[in-house]
Amino acid sequence: PKSGYCSKTASFHSLRPQFNLPPENIPLSVASYVLALRSSFNPDSTVLIDSATGHRFTYSDFTRRVNSLASNLHHVIGLKKGDTALVVSPNSVRVPILYVSLLSLGVIVSPANPSSTPSEISRLIGLSKPVTAFVTTATVQNIPSLSREPIVIDSPEFESLMSRPRQKLERVRVSQNDLAAVMYSSGTTGKVKAVMLTHRNFIAIVGSFPWAGGTEGAAEKVMLYTVPYFHMFGFFYCLKSMALNETLVVMERFDMRRMLEAVERFKVTHLAVAPPVVVALVKGGVTEEFDLRSLVGVTCGGAPLGKDAIEAFVDRFPRAQLAQGYGMTETTGGGFRMLSPEEALNWGSCGRLLGSCEAKIVDPETGIGLPPCYLGDSEATSATLVSDGWLMTGDLCYIDKEGYLFVLDRLKELIKYKGYQVAPAELEQLLQSHPDIVDAAVIPYPDEDAGEIPMAFVVKHYHSNIDEAGVKQFIAKQVAPYKKIRRLSFVNSIPKSASGKILRKDLIKTALQQSTL
Ligand code: 4UU
């Protein structure tokens, strides 16, 4: 059938050409896989451009640094296969070089948000048990002591680790089923979890871009990703760009004006962004000051993109294709994407299944597989569960007859602030730790710029005179800025189900009613 739906298994198969994974028993790290694909292209092609300095790294510069760094990390620093390394850095040209080096050694990469507080980092370390951390001069003070000293990557010492190998490195045998990365996600419930992803997971995702290893579509693509490389979207996109002969323009911190300057200066052809950047691009006149004619594609994902933003974008940038992608940390970023101009015309959808993926739409209450076009039950509860090898996304979706995915709602307890995950349960626990707070609930509140902001409902002690600013500050001191509580309402009680579960949908309704009064 057109949609790829198979009634026998109640699952959807990709409509794209099937991608053949390398045989499982061949040792292959995703680093070797990426470099092998790239090596079929011109060695003088540019892999990275530092947007701040304009410095370019050709493929030969890049591989020289990767090899030198890998050798020194092994021989000088003592990292070895199976070790885990935390990486706490904003985007920089050093990050992709570090990722590929670590992956080639079989060292497990564990990237964390550089805006995390020391207590947040400690929690992550408790899960992933890294032997060392790669940090920057700005993040080093947030790292508790580990068995090895942290390595500061914006330092002259790191530069020298990248520039000369002390000793030749024997090729490390990495099996495809070895862990490549441990990334953090709250999944469908509140607690942060360490997601284990193998080299084969990444090979399957990178290799399922249809032009992998071929020349078609690989010409002269200049990419700029505002999405952070520590998040799955940015992480696997870096690997994909390195593999597919693309040039990656690297910007340390998002700034609209600097991004547009970089598009003009480096003739950027594609952007990968979260929805707030699309909203900002169509708002305000700043885009008019720049020559953006090089731009032919914008990929957006990580959170829902509103219909208004899509229409305004198509109006403002008629030459640029706006393509959506849907994925999760738990799926190695895999899932649904738009990969052609024809697919991108399907506004509001997230595209079609990647060649290496399969999907099932199940009734959230019964778990029974549903055919195309069925809409689920929005009253249902969500639970993360992996049964029969399937991963529960916690999203309310349907797939239409042409195989396009539409995301209607999120059933799981997750707030997406500018595409970043904020777990309500984490904030609720912090709120409840305040001596003046009796009970609390946190919900996503719609916001034009951020998509959603964390909003708290707080029941305070009858004798307490703590105010809104006091509560907000109490939380702000303990969490990364993107998790801050940005809206708050004091209430007498938190609505709960008979089993004690917070009735979030009721609170969301209350919040929206309050705002329209
Ligand atoms: C509505 O956000 C991500 C991954 C994003 C991604 C990956 C590959 C984007 C484009 C791409 O090509 O991962 P997490 O783990 O931070 O969050 C996953 C959740 C999903 O379950 C869903 O609720 O983020 C939400 N989400 C989306 N929602 C992700 N993409 C979309 C989307 N529309 N396009």
Q: What is the pLDDT of residues 66-85, one digit of tens each?
A: 999 999 999 999 999 999 99
The best mutation among 209, 328, 399, 408 to test binding of ligand 1, ranked by most ligand atoms within 8 Å of the C-beta, falls on 328
How many angstroms does the Cα of residue 433 sit away from the middle of ligand 1? Answer: 31
Mean pLDDT, the chain, rounded, equals 91
Give the pLDDT confidence of 424-456 residue by residue, as tens digits.
999 999 999 999 999 999 999 999 899 999 999
Read off the pTM: 0.93
Are 157 and 184 in contact by the 8 Å Cβ rule? The answer is no
Q: Is 326 in the pocket of ligand 1 (CB under 6 A)?
A: yes
Strand 335-337 to 352-353 pairing: antiparallel
Is the backbone of residue 342 left (phi > 0), alpha (psi -120 to 50) or beta?
alpha
What's the pLDDT at 517?
58
| DSSP string over 163-211 | H--SSPPPPP---TTSEEEEEEE-TTSSS-EEEEEEHHHHHHHHTTSTT
Instruction: Among 206, 232, 408, say which to mutate for ligand 1: greatest number of ligand atoms within 8 Å of CB.
Output: 232
The residue whose CB lies within 8 Å of the most ligand 1 atoms, and thus the one to mutate among 326, 384, 407, 416, is 326
Ligand 1 centroid from CA 302, angstroms: 3
- Say yes or no: CB of residue 32 within 6 Å of ligand 1: no
For residue 192, pLDDT over 90 is answered with no
Q: Which of 196, 208, 395, 415 to mutate to test the pocket of ligand 1 (most atoms within 8 A of CB)?
A: 395
ipTM: 0.98
Task: Output 259 or 40, whichever has higher pLDDT.
Answer: 259
| 305 alpha carbon – ligand 1 mean position (Å) | 11
| CA–centroid distance, residue 304 to ligand 1 (Å) | 8
Is 308 or 159 the better-scoring residue by pLDDT? 159
Q: For residue 193, what are the β-bridge partners?
A: 185
> What torsion do the CA atoms of 472, 475, 477, 479 make, to the nearest 10 degrees?
-130
Rounded Cα distance between 506 and 495, Å, is: 8
pLDDT band at 400 (very low <50, low <70, confident <90, very high): very high
- Is the C-beta atom of 410 inside 6 A of ligand 1? yes
431 lines ligand 1 (CB under 6 A): no
351 CB under 6 A from ligand 1? no
Q: What is the dihedral of CA 260, 262, 264, 270, to 10 degrees?
A: -80
Q: Which atom of ligand 1 is nearest to the CA of 410?
A: 23
Ligand 1 mean position, distance from CA 68 (Å)? 35
Instruction: Tell me the CA–centroid distance for residue 45 and ligand 1, in Å.
Output: 31
Task: Give me 124's structure tokens.
Answer: 């992550």
Distance from residue 160's CA to the centre of ligand 1 (Å): 37
Q: Which residues make Cβ contacts (< 8 Å) with residue 126, sequence separation at least 6?
A: none
CB 169 within 8 A of CB 71: yes
Contacts 24+ apart (CB under 8 A), 367-376: 368/10, 369/9, 369/10, 369/11, 370/10, 371/5, 371/7, 371/10, 372/1, 372/3, 372/5, 372/12, 372/398, 372/399, 372/400, 372/401, 373/398, 373/399, 373/400, 373/401, 374/398, 375/408
Going from the Cα of 327 to the center of ligand 1, the distance in angstroms, rounded, reads 4
Residue with CA nearest ligand 1 atom 28: 303
Residues of the chain with pLDDT > 90, as a percent, come to 73
User: Distance, CA 301 to ligand 1 centroid (Å)?
Assistant: 6
The pLDDT value given to residue 156: 97
SS3 of 226, please? coil
Q: Is 164 exposed, middle or buried, given 0-12, 13-18 or 19+ CB atoms closer than 10 A?
A: exposed
Strands 151-152 and 108-111: unpaired
With 70 as the cut, is the pLDDT of residue 312 above it?
yes
Atom from ligand 1 closest to the CA of residue 421: 16
Query: Cβ(301) to ligand 1 under 6 A?
Result: yes
Q: Which residue has the higher pLDDT, 308 or 259?
A: 259
- What would the pLDDT profile of 473-491 be if each residue is shown by its tens digit? 999 999 999 999 999 999 9
Place of tokens 């090596």: 39
Q: Is 354 in the pocket of ligand 1 (CB under 6 A)?
A: no
CB of 452 shorter than 6 A to ligand 1:
no
Distance from Cα 331 to the centre of ligand 1, integer Å: 10
Is the beta carbon of 331 within 6 A of some atom in ligand 1? no
Find tokens 């990709």 and name the residue. Answer: 14
